Structure 1
């Protein structure tokens, strides 16, 4: 797919530069694996999560809100209303045990882990590191008051899970940028930008890309006119990103072992997931057995 014309140094040139700690492979997924992943995605029932809950209410001056896009998690589910995983303090009741990776994804993970262990050493590769959590983000447009609103973007953020982070992209290409984080409110200097293509792998780690910069998805193309599975009543998906990270196994908690407050905050989500998943039905049954 041709890139649009740009002023100054092209993004193609930037992508071909050697960038320590950042790896990009535009054709990582084979056509067969890509087809298998899309078939599996068609079986999912993503959740529309609310940002807050009864025991984690909105801050003063803010109100409850739905996330910009539907999501699904594998390995462990970091519900928004549990405030995600934020070590070293934010580790308890943050990561709820979830379904394992399907075989086609586990094959990709095995290859990525091998690559990561060649790229990263010392403090950039934590002891015990392995990719055991995956966030599936659905990018596109959602239906609001009878109108389709484009929500295919992600603001500046960091991934707090230790060690390298990997992502697989499907569908329309997206422009991802790493931006400086020297002072709050002044994080607009782009230090690396990369188009993420259909079937591409991005792998990054180390202090430069994990600690010293934020990253964001500026936009997602519409030129191919893609509509990706699964079919959702109020959302049109044109890009799917699977982000793989590492959470220490000791911080992954079965639903039955969460605190009473955390269980009540996510019980509705667990019951919704259980309506389509034998794994989550078993997790709810485990709680009843005590």
Structure 2
């Protein structure tokens, strides 16, 4: 399926690549992040909260308390240099970039654009002492990184919607929705789908019974999504270049990552 500014291939991922991806994913130790921190506290009237799902980043890590990457103003000290892509993702990213240059208008692809950043989201249910709590959803938002965004899905299919905001206190209007299937690639960009509309994951099915072997305690993962974006290299900084107060907030997360990641262990030594 292809619309101007939107590309979808339901069979992008081969069985062999899917097997390699799942094998690599089983080696990760995703993080549970909090939205705020000691030096970036909650705004007045809000409280500290944990993100709905565990995450992992490649290329750079946009910690939630740093408020993500939001150009043109929100670019300084937002992106911490992170692990490079594993070989299976390097190959897939090259294919995604080639498709993007073939399918999207040159004016919608900024100079220097490449898919050098990836957010891995783990969708599923909290498993506590009571009834499991399904948190497999994402509220409406925009991705502010410049240029097209590529999304690769594994596991149960999800309802993905592009929506038009109707103003504060009013439900958004669904402009377009589609199922994101296992192994599917979605790429969106341009004025309409990237700049004008918001997008959200409304729900994730529970039909196949799949459970990925992800190292997250008390969490059952049934869908994994890779969202590839572009961040200019000058806005990606090594850990040692962050100011001391932000470094204080970052270190607990990075120390947790360093227990299983030689890359982050090395970053700590370089401070």
TM-score where L is the length of structure 1: 0.91
How far residue 226 of structure 1 moved from its aligned partner, in angstroms, is 0.8
Structure 1: segments with no counterpart, 5+ residues = 1-15
Quick one: distance in 2 between partners of 1:61 and 1:182?
24
The unaligned stretches of length 5 or more in structure 2 are: none
2:181 matches 1:167: no
- Name the CA distance, whole Å, in 2 between partners of 1:88 and 1:144: 41
Partner Cα distance (1:137, 1:176) in 2: 14
Report the 3-state secondary structure (helix = DSSP H, G, I; strand = E; otherwise coil) of the residue aligned with 1:141.
Answer: strand
1:30 match: 14
The alpha carbon displacement at 1:192 in A equals: 1.0
Q: Does 1:135 align with 2:115?
A: no
Contact map agreement 1:181 1:212 (CA 8 A) in 2: no
Q: CA deviation at 1:230?
A: 1.1
**Structure 1 segments of 4+ aligned residues over 6 angstroms from their partners:** none
Partners of 1:48 and 1:281 lie apart in 2 by 19
Aligned length, in residue pairs: 271
Matched residues in 1 for 2:204 and 2:72: separation? 33
Per-residue deviation, 1:120: 2.3
1:281 and 2:265 aligned: yes
Q: Does 1:75 align with 2:26?
A: no
Deviation at 1:136, TM superposition (A): 0.4
Partner SS state of residue 265, structure 2: helix
User: 1:177-196 alignment to 2 at 5 Å?
Assistant: 177-181=161-165, 183-186=167-170, 188-196=172-180
Query: What root-mean-square deviation, in Å, do the aligned CA atoms of Structure 1 and Structure 2 show?
Result: 1.2
Q: Aligned partners of 1:232, 1:162: CA distance in 2, in Å?
A: 31
Structure-2 residue corresponding to 1:50: 34
Structure 2 distance, partners of 1:82, 1:187, is 28
Larger mean CA deviation between 194-203 and 184-193 belongs to: 184-193
Aligned to 1:176: 160
Q: C-alpha displacement at 1:182, in angstroms?
A: 5.4
1:211 aligns with 2:211: no
Secondary structure, counterpart of 1:211 in structure 2? helix
8 A contact 1:74–1:133 mirrored in 2: yes
Asked if 1:228 corresponds to 2:212, the answer is yes
Mapped partners of 1:97, 1:214: distance in 2: 27
Q: Which residue number in structure 2 is paired with residue 240 of structure 1?
A: 224
8 Å contact from structure 2 (residues 28, 215) kept in 1: no
Q: Which residue of structure 1 lines up, in the alignment, with residue 250 of structure 2?
A: 266
Question: TM-score of the superposition, structure 2-length normalised?
Answer: 0.97
Q: Name 2:45's counterpart in structure 1.
A: 61
Tell me the residue number matched to 2:79. Answer: 95
* Residue 231 to residue 264, structure 1, CA distance change in 2 (3 Å): closer
| Counterpart secondary structure, 1:272 | helix
